[in-house]
Structure 1
Amino acid sequence: MTNTPKPEMRPACPHFSSGPTAKRPGFSLSQLETAAFGRSHRSKDAKAKLKEAIDRTKAILKLPEDYRVAIVPASDTGAVEMCMWSMLGARPVDIFAWESFGKDWVTDAQKQLKLDDCEIYVGDYGVLPDFKKARDDADIVFTWNGTTSGVRVDDHSWIKPNPDRVVICDATSAVFAQDIPFEKLDVITYSWQKVLGGEAAHGMLILSPNAVKRLETYTPDRPLPKVFRMTSGGKLNEALFEGATINTPSMLAVEDYLKALDWAENEGGLPGLKARSDKSLKILEDWVEKTDWIEFLCADPKVRSNTGVTFRIADPRVAKLDTAGQEAFVKKLVALLEKEGVAFDFNAYNKAPPGLRIWVGSTVEPSDVEKLLPWLDWAFATVAEELQDA
């Protein structure tokens, strides 16, 4: 038996998944009874709720007045891809990636869109690529916060103003948690199931006037499916940004998003939500500093995510194992805490290096993060002892 005592206090909420993430504190299904159940999403009442979701998003994030917001199909993925398919090809393109989803946009550009003048810059997990290589006249596609790598952008000086190009930013695990210079970005996308702990399937699309100009002046030489079409007769479909969605949304999920926005406002808006995530990250940083068996996958604190925080096992007994061995060790550690009902879904992304990924977005209580850490120490000691005895 391990000498590390089994903790007694458990997190009140054991959900540390990176998406869908933990529901906001105080969530109850009874809060959704005001949803527009059984109504057409084009009815006056349902459309008003969709418009409210759009308007309040813009207000809480303090978006520039002339930016447009829409609710689109297929989560953040759909929002990114509808813009890549609709906008790219007019100019050279630079794509920066350093984690799994960013690499998906590389695949889209190279193998699906087959863009002619496309430069790709890929960083390893835990580090950023060299943004200084961005061309001032090229369109840009990049991820603000690496959901699977635990690395975020901290410096945006490399994004030079240019009204003739578009900058597309997948910001799904950053919006509502990090400071983002919206005025320097033309396309910003995210999904409800990340920082606000909403439900899946809906994407949020934010467009600058420059992005609208691209849509109205450039017609790609590729077919666009219905769910990607944002223009009609060469003009932006303005109704899309007033709550007339492309396809049928879940009004139950919309209601949950509106209640999440209520909670966000009560927490102080963006500054309040960011502070919650920052507090949880600080708790993890203090723990890692005094714990010898674990380390951050992202070694640089300036670019370390405050939402999806990634770790690798530093203990020599585990580090010397091959990838399969390390994955097996982590799997046992995670399974042990899931069996205890202490924490769920906190293993590293399956394409990332073996390790842990703990979501500490604002819907996670910092006090639960504190309660989790002794359990992690106990689980590691328990599984490591089994490894030593084997």
Structure 2
Amino acid sequence: MSTVYNFNAGPAALPKAALEAAQKELLNFNNTGMSVMELSHRSKDYDAVHQQTKQLLKKLLSIPDTYDILFLQGGASLQFAMLPYNLLPQNKVGQYVLTGSWSEKALKEATLIGETNVLASTKDSNYSTIPDLKDAPFTDNDAYVHITSNNTIYGTQWKQFPSISHAPLVADMSSDILSKKIDVNQFGMIYAGAQKNLGPSGVTVVIVKKELVQQAQVEHVPTMLRYGTFADHDSLYNTPPTFGIYLLGKVLEWAESIGGLEKLEQVNEEKAKILYDTIDSSDGFYKGHAHPSSRSSMNVTFTLPNEELSKSFLSLAKERGFVGLNGHRSIGGCRASIYNAVPIEACMALRDLMNEFKSNN
């Protein structure tokens, strides 16, 4: 197929420049005569990749020296358990804000490990909004407050993060990390699966305050589930996902080359506006799932007047080279995931397709 518009929710589109750079070096990295996939993770050649990737992430996100940057495996799903194992002692409560399926899963895992509480939830509106925590029932026993910064299935996103001082704010940023400027100092910990904005599937990035790692009560926690294990060994306690980290570095190089977070945020807002303006000007033919105040700039979710039209639209989109527009099975409809590497031209093409389909139906 000559032209493909990749709107997959994850694994998702990767920058062409990053893929071409990896292709160029694939068989002979740094004149070693080997692929980076074949290098020992203890070698000087790989260590240079490892350190450069950390430094690029630190620079782009303005991560202070008071935080550890860890490269793990297991996706955000493993963090759902690893977080409470490390930061939820017996005499404390893990507070969870429910804004979608992934926050529900995070809560479910934590409940198996320690005491939890639902601080706020928008489930009664089918997760179409982000809750206001102004009057949330915080307690002195809060171990942390957990949020999901962007909700891929429902298409909602935190526009402003809650200001919390009594406990660490922890965020699953799997689907919007690196998409806009954030103040890392607001958070005790950030974690993210790489497969949406950072790189290929298989790498999980954890950014965590060093003091939280040091204070963790992990005497009875398995070694591989301790943040300290990876902090103490620079994420090299065991064999890390070396190729994934390498490609993550290539994506970060691309992000820096185009202007960093400021440029990425600008372009992401432009892409989202193209699609939301199309929905809003369709006289109800397309209906967005998320309330306008909570709309995601990463995942645009919408429905058509009926299931038959939805199927026809998705069938036409597939014929025209659009990939990944099916909505999640739990809510149906359509979803355009417009992560960093999705070009603005793809959003323009989708806009044109949506307008054409409306005109013909």
TM-score bracket relative to the smaller structure: 0.7 to 0.9
1:178 corresponds to which letter in structure 2? K
1:200 corresponds to which letter in structure 2? S
Between the aligned residues of both structures, percent identity stands at 20
Pick one of 20, 23, 43 that aligns with 1:30: 23
How far is 1:169 from its partner? 0.8
2:335 maps to 1:357: yes
Structure 1 segment 193-204 matched on structure 2, within 5 A: 193-196=195-198, 198-204=199-205
Which residue of structure 1 aligns with residue 32 of structure 2?
none
Structure 1 segment 106-117 matched on structure 2, within 5 A: 106-110=107-111, 112-113=112-113, 115-116=114-115
2:165 maps to 1:161: yes
Which residue of structure 1 aligns with residue 303 of structure 2?
312
Pick one of 19, 26, 35 that aligns with 2:10: 19
Given that residues 96 and 116 in structure 2 are in contact (C-alpha distance below 8 angstroms), is that contact kept between their aligned partners in structure 1?
no
Q: Which runs of 5+ in 2 are unaligned?
A: 30-34
Secondary structure of the corresponding residue to residue 93 of structure 1: strand
1:161 corresponds to which letter in structure 2? S
Cα deviation digits, residues 318-338 of structure 1 (max 9, x gap): 2xxxxxxx3x65344323322
Which residue of structure 2 aligns with residue 336 of structure 1?
316
How far is 1:178 from its partner? 2.6
Q: Tell me the TM-score normalised to structure 1 length.
A: 0.80
Q: Which runs of 5+ in 1 are unaligned?
A: 1-9, 319-325, 385-390
2:247 maps to 1:268: no
Given that residues 194 and 200 in structure 2 are in contact (C-alpha distance below 8 angstroms), is that contact kept between their aligned partners in structure 1?
yes
Given that residues 97 and 122 in structure 1 are in contact (C-alpha distance below 8 angstroms), is that contact kept between their aligned partners in structure 2?
yes
How far is 1:69 from its partner? 0.3
Q: Name the CA shift for 1:309/1:32 in 2 (closer, same or farther; >3 Å).
A: farther
Q: Tell me the TM-score normalised to structure 2 length.
A: 0.86
Secondary structure of the corresponding residue to residue 120 of structure 2: strand
Given that residues 280 and 286 in structure 2 are in contact (C-alpha distance below 8 angstroms), is that contact kept between their aligned partners in structure 1?
no
Q: Name the CA shift for 1:226/1:32 in 2 (closer, same or farther; >3 Å).
A: farther
How far is 1:120 from its partner? 4.6
1:333 corresponds to which letter in structure 2? F
How far is 1:32 from its partner? 4.3
d(CA) in 2 for partners of 1:44, 1:101: 38
How far is 1:230 from its partner? 2.6
Given that residues 127 and 151 in structure 1 are in contact (C-alpha distance below 8 angstroms), is that contact kept between their aligned partners in structure 2?
yes
Which residue of structure 1 aligns with residue 70 of structure 2?
70
Pick one of 280, 284, 296 that aligns with 2:288: 296
Which residue of structure 1 aligns with residue 148 of structure 2?
143
Cα deviation digits, residues 331-364 of structure 1 (max 9, x gap): 44323322x142111111122x221111112211
Q: Name the CA shift for 1:11/1:117 in 2 (closer, same or farther; >3 Å).
A: same
Secondary structure of the corresponding residue to residue 37 of structure 1: helix
How far is 1:366 from its partner? 0.8
2:193 corresponds to which letter in structure 1? S
Given that residues 227 and 247 in structure 1 are in contact (C-alpha distance below 8 angstroms), is that contact kept between their aligned partners in structure 2?
no
Secondary structure of the corresponding residue to residue 306 of structure 1: coil
Which residue of structure 2 aligns with residue 186 of structure 1?
188
Given that residues 85 and 228 in structure 1 are in contact (C-alpha distance below 8 angstroms), is that contact kept between their aligned partners in structure 2?
yes
Secondary structure of the corresponding residue to residue 94 of structure 1: strand
d(CA) in 2 for partners of 1:272, 1:126: 28
Which residue of structure 2 aligns with residue 60 of structure 1?
60
How far is 1:25 from its partner? 3.3
